[in-house]
């Protein structure tokens, strides 16, 4: 009952902020449109039509066409599937690694904590984007490799958040009681402490997905991310950068979708941060 009451309170506080609610609705619609692209898109994403090169937006082509006569609206929808999926999977990998390292570090403390946190500090010393560029230079830039690289270079903030929560929780009475009655460490960490430490992780995930989408589009824009002909918002943006004077729509519409998705994820994250902190409403 307490858990259900807590969730109701979180939803109530989240829905109070209309901006966060509207952002969530836009995100849901954007995700649905992207993953239902085969049903919604009027054309195939790689359908080349030399008779319709660089046509401006119209009823037939709502977002116009590109230099190969491909429908930009269709490619933006299909590109959303890639960009959003990369964001979800990459942040999922980062959260998984961050939870494991942060939990072990915060629970055991001592030399283990010192070693793991110094490793985190070393990783944070490297500029993330340049670290990703260095890794991408040595691997094949497939979708799965990009997701893995983004996840492996983005777990450090999550680890710090989880460690901080565990340092606070391990002195609580229920944890001390579990130790006294002989419950093993893994059960204490993952069954009893971790569920109580997830609030900041949930908030971090929303911001992290937005960051992963930006990193993926940045890599694709530089030609080091998802490779054509597979559409992603980043490489669609790139394909139109040399034609801005004559075909602004090729880069404009994927850029708008990137802006909307990242902004909405950040606003949802802000709403979750407030909703999961009841002290704000006291």
Instruction: Specify the pTM.
Output: 0.86
Is the separation of the CB atoms in 51 and 69 below 8 Å?
Answer: yes
In the chain, the domains with their CATH numbers are 16-37+69-275 (1.10.3720.10)
Q: Express each pLDDT in 50-73 by its tens digit.
A: 889 999 999 999 999 998 899 999
Look over the chain and give the mean of its residue pLDDT values, rounded to a whole number.
86
Q: Express each pLDDT in 198-237 by its tens digit.
A: 888 888 888 899 988 888 888 888 878 888 888 888 888 8
Residue 4 has pLDDT above 70, yes or no: no
What is the share, in percent, of the chain residues with pLDDT greater than 90?
A: 33
Which string of DSSP letters, residue by residue, matches 20-70? HHHHHHHHHHHHHHHHTHHHH-SS-TT---GGGTTPPS-SSSTT-B-TTS-
Provide the token pair at 68. Answer: 């190969």
């Amino acid at each position: 009952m307490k858990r259900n009451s807590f969730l109701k309170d979180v939803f109530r506080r989240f829905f109070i902020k209309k901006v966060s609610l509207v952002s969530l609705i836009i995100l849901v619609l954007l995700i649905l449109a992207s993953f239902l692209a085969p049903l919604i898109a009027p054309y195939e994403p790689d359908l080349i039509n030399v008779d319709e090169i660089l046509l401006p937006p119209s009823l037939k082509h709502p977002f116009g066409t590109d230099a190969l006569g491909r429908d930009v609206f269709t490619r933006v929808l299909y590109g959303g599937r890639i960009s959003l999926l990369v964001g979800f999977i990459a942040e999922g990998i980062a959260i998984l690694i961050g939870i494991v390292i942060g939990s072990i570090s915060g629970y055991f403390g001592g030399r283990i904590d010192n070693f793991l946190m110094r490793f985190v500090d070393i990783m944070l010393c490297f500029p993330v984007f340049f670290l990703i560029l260095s890794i991408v230079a040595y691997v094949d830039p497939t979708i799965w490799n990009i997701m893995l690289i983004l996840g492996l270079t983005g777990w450090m903030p999550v680890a710090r958040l989880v460690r901080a929560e565990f340092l606070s929780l391990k002195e609580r009475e229920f944890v001390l009681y579990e130790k006294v009655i002989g419950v093993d460490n893994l059960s204490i960490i993952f069954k009893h402490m971790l569920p109580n430490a997830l609030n900041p992780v949930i908030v971090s995930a929303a911001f992290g997905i937005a960051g992963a989408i930006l990193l993926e589009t940045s890599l694709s824009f530089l030609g080091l991310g998802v490779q054509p002909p597979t559409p992603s918002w980043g490489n669609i943006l790139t394909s139109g950068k040399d034609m801005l004077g004559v075909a602004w729509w090729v880069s404009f519409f994927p850029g708008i979708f990137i802006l909307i998705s990242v902004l909405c994820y950040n606003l949802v994250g802000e709403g979750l941060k407030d909703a999961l902190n009841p002290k704000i409403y006291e």
